[in-house]
Amino acid sequence: MRVLITGGAGFIGCNLAAHHLERGNDVILVDNLSRPRTQHNLNWLRCRADHAGRSDKISFHQGDVRDFDGLRRIFELTGPDLVVHLASQVAVTKSVLNPREDFEINALGTFNVLEAIRAQARPPAMIYASTNKVYGGMEDVAVVLDGARYRYRDFPNGISEDRPVDPKSPYGCSKCAGDQYVRDYARIYGLRTVVFRQSTIYGPHQFGIEDQGWLAWLMIAVVTHRPITIYGDGRQVRDMLHVDDLIAAYDAAWEHMDAVAGQVFNIGGGMANTLTIWSEAGPLLESLAGHAIPVTYADWRPGDQRVFVSDNRKAMQMLGWAPKVGVREGARQLWDWVVANRELFA
């Protein structure tokens, strides 16, 4: 099996690449290395392949999804069976500051990937990493305060794929455009594509920033003694999905590709793996760090959901998939990785 990963030197990409190398699959990485420390992840993957005697199983192509001709040449050269499209502009705030760049990377870039796939004599399957931000702020969904956390009043299993998309930022719009194109190319052109609307993904090799990868960012800030700002009241709830569980979902989609092509799945930790931004995450981090952690509070950010929890039942039914890594176990793994690699965050 030949797997091509756009954004392959990123957080999810390098974990997914390592997984396929362990399985003996050929891995093709496409990345423009524009994000900080992606070169570190690429070096780590190459060392891992060398130690396992599988250096011939990994190839790297420095390319940009905005470059259609370059992308098509890579596809023609490598002939993948599966494309996992992870390359993305990931920050809401950056999308507001530079909406054109955000559109070109997320919407046009995804369109280019689809067209590169469609141009192949034997089109590969595709999994697209979308986001729960396509649902927007969900202001009409009733949320109640339950002690130190918010919860849905009327959705005990979380938000399902039946929820209409209603993005509230350039980032949400650009990811939603890609989301809908990927879905429609299955219907119009018969491509084997699947959309994953992913929740909060976390795990090793995540170089979190304040606007994306929040749990990793908090851990990095604690370890490097950086100031922490909590936007809102810190009782916002997110469902947390460990990257290993996400990779298991990708595997399940590939295994069931013929049956699920054209489908959209909400993929998150679900109700069993939720954590608040600070009222629960704060004490958890203090227990890991062994000391109190000072924070300051600031106003709510526009479009910030008080709760987002994925209803995973469709994925359970159609993919036979469910998360296995508990949030506290996963948080400990991430903390240990951040501590062991603190020099990377200096």
Annotated catalytic residues are 171
At 140, list the tokens. Answer: 């009409």
